[in-house]
Amino acid sequence: MDEVHFQQHGSRCRMWIPPETQDPVLLHHPTRKSVGYFGALRLRDGKLVYRRETIRFKAETCFDFLGHLWKQSSRSGRRVVVITDNARYHHAALHKEWRKAVEPWFQLEYLPPYSPDLNPIERVKK
């Protein structure tokens, strides 16, 4: 399981510039448009389970995604082990009791600090 955030920072443009102008600088209007996604990759068949987040990543949004992921993955009847990084909201007290309750069927395993080679979602081909 991992999360990603996309932001828009202006765009390219083509325009006519008088020949006497050397090194023109065109400042783009900064935007604050962004979109975030939680995602998890099922290694068995390569299915990507994701959910769009319109607000910040925090304990509540992580808990919502964990519930969504549990519903999507519990259909097979198999035990699910989710490998995730050590983001603070993955360990939140908000969903600690829920994690303990579903642990026999749905378990979170945390990667050691900074280990991108061990994270399976980093291997998704575009």
For residue range 95-123, list pLDDT tens digits in order. 999 999 999 899 999 887 766 666 666 66
Domain assignment present for 124:
no
Residue 61 near residue 38, CB atoms below 8 Å: yes
| CATH (domain of 46) | 3.30.420.10
The residue assigned the tokens 């910040």 is 56
pLDDT in tens, 31-71: 667 789 999 988 888 889 999 988 889 999 999 999 999 98
Domain assignment present for 122:
no
> Does residue 83 surpass a pLDDT of 60?
yes
Domain assignment present for 84:
yes
Domain assignment present for 121:
no
Domain assignment present for 9:
yes
Q: How many domains does the chain fold into?
A: 1
Q: Domain range for residue 54?
A: 2-116
Domain assignment present for 126:
no
pTM of the entire structure? Answer: 0.69
* Residues linked to residue 6 through DSSP beta bridges, in sequence order: 35
The per-residue pLDDT for 73 is: 84
